Structure 1
Amino acid sequence: MDKYVLNPEVTAFLDVMNHPLRDLIENLRRVILTAGLDLVEGIKWNGPNYSLNGQDRITMRIHPPKQVQLVLHRGAKVKE
């Protein structure tokens, strides 16, 4: 079984931030990366971001530091 890989740049970014909900953020990072081993972890909107084949799929909104939100990208669709 393949294992997920945490991006060290994201870890360093979070170390500097010293977010009060860091444990929750770390748990979410692991769950997200375990769910899709092809996901690539990076930073977008000042939070962890997960993309697949160059397309954003999940972004963690971690500001303000009282909360953590997951933004699930689904893309814009043209209405007929």
Structure 2
Amino acid sequence: MSTAEVDAHLAALQHQLKPAVLRLRAAIMASDDGFSEHVKWKAPSFVYDGEDRVTFALHPANRIRIILHRGVRKRDDSAHFVFDDDAGLAVWATPDRGVVTFASEGAARDAEPALLALIARWVRA
């Protein structure tokens, strides 16, 4: 999907933290010209270098989760992959799949600079 299709999807979104979703989406897209986006899991997903790398998960509607992943398939090097989240924003389900969660607009806004720095490093890992 194109950015216009994501725009249309988000225009219809019913979510308690929609302003934060819109703000973070815009910040992520503006952070690097290498990003494109589409809808995945009924939410914006960001592609970098041809791979899905960062995806919003917007259910339940009382929080925002941002999933850091390395594409749609498990990679052969997953067991040996190492990534240092020096900001401590993510909870790591596996070494190559992290989840950043925000329960309020304020928390998302306050963490935005650290989140963008984390994402910038993540998509190049």
TM-score with structure 1 setting the length? 0.80
One-letter amino acid of the structure 2 residue matched with residue 64 of structure 1: P
2-side partners of 1:54 and 1:64: how far apart?
A: 29
When the two chains are superposed, the root-mean-square deviation of aligned CA atoms in Å is 2.0
CA drift at 1:54: 1.9
Describe the shift of the 1:78–1:16 C-alpha distance in structure 2 as closer, same or farther (beyond 3 A): closer
Q: Deviations over 1:20-68 (max 9, x none)?
A: 2110001101111122111001111111000012201100011111110
Who is 2:9 aligned against?
13
Structure 2 equivalent of residue 48 of structure 1: 44
How many residues are treated as equivalent by the alignment?
A: 75
Kept in 1: contact 2:51–2:70 (CA 8 A):
no
Aligned twin of 1:62: 58
Identity over aligned residues, as a percent? 31
Unmatched tracts of structure 2, length 5 or more: 81-125
Provide the C-alpha distance between the structure 2 equivalents of 1:72 and 1:29, rounded to a whole number of angstroms. Answer: 14
Q: Gaps (5+ residues) in structure 1?
A: 1-5
The structure-2 alpha-carbon separation of the partners of 1:74 and 1:17, relative to structure 1 and needing over 3 Å to count, comes to: same
CA distance in 1, matches of 2:10, 2:56: 12
Cα offset, 1:74, TM superposition: 3.1
